[in-house]
A and B are shown apart, each in its own frame.
Chain A
Amino acid sequence: MTIATIDRAATAVPTELARGRGGGGPAPKRVVVAYGFWIFILSDMVMFSALFAAYAVLRGNTAGGPTGAELFNLRNVFIETMCLLLSSYTCGLAVLSAERRHPTRFLIFAAFTFVLGAAFLFIEVSEFANMVAKGAGPSRSGFLSAFFTLVGTHGIHVASGLIALIYLVAQVIAKGLPAAVLRRLLCWSLFWHALDIVWVGVFTLVYLMGDYH
């Protein structure tokens, strides 16, 4: 398709702007803001890739201490995974409800998202406490340092996501659903979905590959 065709199409039907490829009018703010936030998420992914790399090279350096297979409880990891996955789902439904102007439905889905995220965090923190109590804290070996750094950083992200969710729900209650609040919700949902993607890497590399049959 030539540029001329796109321009003609855009002139004829102004609602169908060609976006993202330079043709047509400016992109809507929703798309621009989400793109900027997407760049931030990708930079966060690059940071996680360094932590994944550190874990991958240090996983065998147990210094005579406990190995992953001895420490990990895969049943709990499966429950954590399901909590995070379901909270990603309800987060998507919450943003969809907000975009369709159903504040009550948004609040219900947001509450589900929060509870599931908090459950994930609770299981993770109790696992950490359990490991530290068994003498397998972050200072025990290179493997455990890398483990706590990688999984802990993900946990801190989840915790800050939960705090941001409280802040956004307060905004929706106070201001309703104007475009600015909807954009913040969209960015927050990108962040929350991205955390689930990081978790897929964590449970695969750390838990399943550390303890397979």
Chain B
Amino acid sequence: MTDAHEHVFDDRTPGVEEHEPSASYLSYTVGLGLAILATIASFVVSQTNLLWPPGIPVGLIVLAFAQIGVHLVFFLQLGSGPDSTNNILALAFGMLIVFLVITGSIWIIANLNSNMTSMSMQ
């Protein structure tokens, strides 16, 4: 960055609001429609035999991830634009931590439980 550029951007310090956000009513409405579809699908899948019964938990998890994706893109407006780059990197790191905490806990406790057979047999 040269001095010339500093001069050009002199009045563009943080705090200058130079553009309107690109979100639209339509984007929220599309998101709402998709989210409602995913929600209804989740409830239907859990209450019927539409899916092969042992596959229901997996189906529910897939639907939950789909709905979270819809929320991120259409409600939180996380897109591919330059404004979202840092937010998506932070989100990726957050998801890594969430994944480690949840699967790590389930894995460790499952191991612990399977080594406690004398207790669970009663």
Contact = CB atoms under 8 A, between A and B. Distances in A.
A46 B97 contact: yes
A26 B13 contact: yes
Given A25-B5, A53-B105, A193-B76, 6 more contacts: A15-B18, A20-B82, A20-B86, A49-B98, A74-B47, A212-B47
17 contacts: A10-B8, A15-B19, A18-B82, A19-B83, A21-B85, A28-B19, A29-B14, A35-B86, A42-B90, A42-B93, A49-B97, A85-B39, A93-B28, A96-B23, A203-B39, A204-B42, A209-B60
A185 to B, nearest CB: 12
Contacts of A21: 82, 85
A83 B60 CA distance: 20
B9 A14 contact: yes
A46 B28 contact: no
- Size category of the B interface is 35 or more
Interface stretch (A111-119, A151-159, A168-176, A194-202): A194-202
A38 B105 contact: no
B14 to A, nearest CB: 4
A204 B64 contact: yes
A161 B31 CA distance: 21
Contacts of A134: none
Interface of A: 7, 10-11, 14-15, 17-21, 24-32, 34-35, 38-39, 42-43, 45-46, 49-50, 52-54, 56-57, 74, 78, 81-82, 85-86, 88-89, 92-93, 96, 99-100, 179, 190, 193-194, 196-197, 200-201, 203-205, 208-209, 211-213
A191 B56 CA distance: 30
Binding site of A, secondary structure by majority: helix, strand, loop or mixed? helix
Given A19-B83, A78-B43, A99 B20 contact: yes
